Amino acid sequence: MSWVHEAKIKAAEKVVEHIKDDMVIGIGSGTTAAEGIRIIGEKIRNGELRGIRAVPTSYQAIQEAVKAQIPLTTLDEFPVLDFGFDGADQIDQELNAIKGGGGALLREKIVASCCKEYVLVADQTKVTDVLGRDQPVYLEVHPMAVAPVSRKLRNMGAKPDIRQAVGKLGPVVTDNGNNLIDADFGPIHNPGYLNARLHSVQGVMETGLFIGYCKIAYVGTQNGVKTLTRF
């Protein structure tokens, strides 16, 4: 097992410590979140956690939760969640993040916005001093708007790339029936301003810029877990 995989597991273990009996939680997507889902399932089966219900952020999260035997629910039943956790593609020192490498950013942000407490979990390779350094911003875009949105992104100084499917011809289609554009802006010194500009572009359904959602992040390192906080 690589140190990165071990770091993800250790960080996920810290996240799960926040979860108490009878909580309704949001569960994220991706490999790091999957480790947390697996650990929650083990605790439920061992009797260490009871009454847990989870709102998944993607079909992948649904599959991981079913495999872990975690009861699922929806935001229709529980529009306010006690707790939520997810991975990140990049995190800065203020705990702003870029998410959406797995294509679930819209649902991930909806769930994040419903959580009383929201925690990010990652390994050390995902931490940066400035968002956007060697990392595109992921955008979920309505299919009919892909071309005009790409044009507007280029006018904003970005290099847009329409994400293509692997093992299937054509662009990636999200769980919501939209397409994905990976937009390289380079280093982003004001992510809140960029996020607002992107939301003003018609056809952009959601951005992968997660600004201000998280106050705690657990970062797995080669030597343990580092806790990052924002007050």
Residues 6+ apart with CB under 8 A from 142: 178, 179, 203, 205
Residues 146 and 217 in one domain: no
Catalytically annotated residues = 108
- Asked if residue 132 belongs to a domain, the reply is no
Residues 102 and 215 in one domain: yes
| Weakest mean pLDDT among 103-107, 138-142, 214-218, 227-231 | 227-231
CA 134, distance to chain mean position in Å, is 18
- Residue 224 backbone zone (phi > 0: left; psi -120 to 50: alpha; other: beta): left
Supply the pLDDT for residue 169: 87
- Asked if residue 104 belongs to a domain, the reply is yes
Structure tokens that stand for 150 in this block: 């790409």
For residues 133-145, average pLDDT: 98
Residues 118 and 142 in one domain: no
Q: How confident is the model at residue 3 (pLDDT cuts 50, 70, 90)?
A: confident
* Count: domains in the chain: 2
| Residue 142 lies in domain | 137-207
Q: Where are the alpha helices (DSSP H) in the chain?
A: 3-16, 31-45, 59-68, 105-113, 146-155, 191-199
- Asked if residue 27 belongs to a domain, the reply is yes
CA atoms of 93 and 12, how far apart (whole Å): 19
Residues 120 and 142 in one domain: no
The dihedrals phi and psi of 2, each to the nearest 5 degrees, come to: -75, 160
Residues 190 and 89 in one domain: no
- Asked if residue 56 belongs to a domain, the reply is yes
Query: Is the per-residue pLDDT at 4 higher than 90?
Result: no
Query: Is the per-residue pLDDT at 231 higher than 80?
Result: no
What does the mean pLDDT of the chain come to?
Answer: 96
Residues 120 and 160 in one domain: no
pLDDT in tens, 74-129: 999 999 999 999 999 999 999 999 999 999 999 999 999 999 999 999 999 999 99
Supply the pLDDT for residue 68: 97
CATH number for 156: 3.30.70.260
Residue 201 three-state SS = coil
- Distance from the first to the final alpha carbon of the chain: 35
Residues 32 and 85 in one domain: yes
pTM for this one?
A: 0.94
Instruction: Quote the Cα angle for 87-75-96, to 5°.
Output: 30
For residues 169-177, average pLDDT: 94
pLDDT in tens, 180-208: 999 999 999 999 999 999 999 999 999 99
> What proportion of the chain, given as a percentage, has pLDDT over 70?
100
